[in-house]
Amino acid sequence: MNVAFCAAAAVTLVTTALAITRANAVHALLYFVVSLLGMAVIFFALGAPFAAALEVIVYAGAIVVLFLFVVMMLSLDRAAALRERSWMARSVWVLPAVFVALLGGALARAVFATAGGAVAPQVITPQAVGLRLFTTDLGAVELASMLLLASLVGAFHLGRK
């Protein structure tokens, strides 16, 4: 399990780094899909198979594919990729990288300074998740449905000609 986790973590990190540095939006999104599949493997290795399935079906399958369709609707051509590359000069990355490194140092300190302990080696079944979701967390489910409705109405309103 540890080998699977480490391999998937490496794939996820590398493809995410590639995704944020591509000039071509479609290539970047395809790398992002690979990173999401790696994330699904990580969830599986941690013992959360339902989350892994959701990550593939909902995130990689629905959300990113919607993103991909919209990027294709924007009909970005070679000139757009060139302009994109001109916006990505090396000097642009320096200041954000410094801030991100500072934040990363603080986060690494916070994570590794706390007490150790392994991820519990059992598997949480979809049954347990569903039981929790539709009994104690029912109010949150209703709130989520309202959020989706608000998003639907907003997208419909903004998309009107």
Partner 1 sequence: MIAWQLPAALAAALFLLGLLGLLARRSLVFVLMSIEIMVNATGLLFITAGMRWGNPDGQVMLIFVLNLAGAELALGLILILRLRARLTTLDGDAATLLRDT
| Shortest Å distance, C-beta 97 to partner 1 | 6
| Shortest Å distance, C-beta 83 to partner 1 | 8
User: How far apart (Å, rounded) are the C-alpha atoms in residues 149 and 143?
Assistant: 10
| Shortest Å distance, C-beta 125 to partner 1 | 8
**Binding residue for partner 1 (CB under 8 A) from 7, 11, 30, 59?**
59
Does residue number 129 form part of the binding site for partner 1 (CB under 8 A)?
Answer: yes
**CB-based burial, 23-58: b 16+ in 10 Å, e otherwise:** bebeebbbbbbbbbbbbbbbbbbbbbbbbbebbbee
Instruction: Give the footprint of partner 1 on residues 98-127 (CB under 8 A).
Output: 99-100, 103-104, 107-108, 111-112, 114, 116-122, 124
Kindly give, in sequence order, each residue whose CB lies less than 8 Å from that of residue 40, ignoring residues fewer than 6 positions away. Answer: 52, 53, 55, 56, 60
Does residue number 61 form part of the binding site for partner 1 (CB under 8 A)?
Answer: no
